[in-house]
Amino acid sequence: MFKLRQMTFDVETKGRLSLLIVVVIGYLVTFLGAFSSDGYQGTLSETVLALLLGVVYVLLEWYDEAYFHRLPGPGGKALYFGVQIGLIYAIQWLIGPGGVWLVSLPLAATAVYWLSPLWRWPVYAAILFGMFVSLGLRYGYWESAVFFAISVSPAIFFVVIFAEQGVRERTARHRAEELTAELAAANRQLSAYALQAEELAITQERNRLAREIHDNLGHYLTVVNVQIAAAKVLLGSDTERAVAALDKAQALTQEGLGAVRQSVAALRESPLGQRPLPEALADLVRQSNNTGIVTEMAVRGRPRQLTAAEQLTLYRVAQEGLTNVRKHARASRADLTLDFSSPEHVCLTIVDNGLGREREGTGFGLLGIRERVHALGGEVWVETAVNQGFSLAARIPTADEEETG
């Protein structure tokens, strides 16, 4: 931004300085031409006055921007150009033609910078008319005055074209500065949004990690606890069955350790592996049966391909539901249903015949289920009552309705 502004200042300063140098050259040409000929009619006082008026003219040209910042309205502009045109008239009247026409060029350029196209033309006309009138009245050379005004016109219009190009370039630079500022502001906003998104992603990842740990460890530890409790009961009366229960607990412990390692190594990997969802659910049902709860599974409709996210979500719902049956329900039976009957969604339901509750639970496991299902645009229902068992249902819209063979 700083470099762009610095470049703008340098370009504009050089252009203004060039025009003012033209004014100085015009004075030199005029005075040298006048004093080297016998036709100069001015006195010393007129010469000094012309020089002083020229200094005023140059100062007004150089500080035009400061002037228009103080008096930006139409009245201020009319006063400025009226005074400058009057100074040009007076200078030409005092020292004659020569190179004084060069003095008018900066004013033509200034009109381009500060006036609308409609109001520039009166300034151009006034400059040319002043040359014609001042020369005609002072020296009486009316025909020469007409020719002089006509011959100077191309130079004025050349400066006008040059100034208009400068205005376009200045406008483009200012627009570039504005765009740079807007882009910088947008970049700051994007950086802030990126930070917020990063913080949100970290929070979501923490929640996902907590769900993974709860779902994995909660499932295995519950089953292991049931097997150990069964072994304690059978240890004195049926050693063989007690050992079998402990063997199952040991196997589940090893599976649990493997699941933990898998979660730590790659949290995004699905516990289903390459298995289809019904097969993975059947494995959960088998583990539930091993705890002594009669658990059956039914698949309705024709199974179809689901996305990895859909399969993982339904698997976690089933895992959490069966874990809760073992931990809280005191049920003797549980039924798991995977329903593909609707072409628009798939539904998983777990119903047990346990004690039930007065109201649905608010534990982390159920919260995790809701978060998973809602993330896919699905819904979760819980129905329960005291001594009426517990029913958990999750329904998610399917992204791919193509049936598998």
Q: Which domains does the chain have, with CATH numbers?
A: 2-185 (no CATH), 275-405 (3.30.565.10)
Distances in whole angstroms, Cα of residue 185 to Cα of each of 45, 93, 259, 331? 60, 56, 47, 61
3-state secondary structure of 269: coil
List, in order, residues 6 or more apart from 114 with CB less than 8 Å away. 64, 68, 77, 80
d(CA 277, CA 172): 62
pLDDT in the model for residue 5? 37
The pLDDT value recorded for residue 177 is 79
* Residue 99 vs residues 91, 92, 306: alpha-carbon distances, Å: 11, 9, 89
Tell me the two tokens of residue 93.
């009247």
Please list the pLDDT of the chain residue by residue as tens digits (405 residues). 333 334 344 445 555 566 566 666 666 665 555 555 555 555 677 777 877 877 787 777 776 767 766 767 777 777 877 777 777 777 777 776 555 666 777 777 777 777 777 777 777 777 777 666 666 666 666 776 676 667 777 777 777 777 777 777 777 777 877 877 777 777 677 656 655 665 676 677 667 766 766 666 667 777 777 778 777 787 777 777 877 877 787 777 777 777 666 666 555 556 777 789 999 999 999 999 998 899 999 999 999 988 888 898 999 999 999 988 988 888 899 999 999 999 999 999 999 998 887 666 555 578 888 888 988 889 999 998 888 889 999 999 985 544 433
Name the region of 354 (left: φ>0; alpha: ψ -120 to 50; beta: rest). beta
- pLDDT of 274: 77
Structure confidence at residue 348 (pLDDT): 97
Other Cβ atoms less than 10 A from the Cβ of 30: the count is 24
The residue to which tokens 């583990």 are assigned: 287
Q: Is 301 exposed, middle or buried (0-12, 13-18, 19+ CB in 10 A)?
A: middle
pTM tops 0.85: no
pLDDT of residue 187: 66
Do residues 227 and 249 make contact, with C-beta atoms less than 8 angstroms apart?
Answer: yes
Two tokens at 10? 């340098």
- On the CB side of 139, CA atoms within 13 Å amount to 21
Tokens at residue 147, please? 């020719």
Distance of CA 34 to the CA centre of its chain: 67
* pLDDT recorded at residue 2: 36
Per the CB < 8 A criterion, the answer to whether 254 and 294 are in contact is no
Distances, alpha carbon 371 to alpha carbons 180, 323, 364, 396, 397, in Å = 42, 18, 10, 12, 15
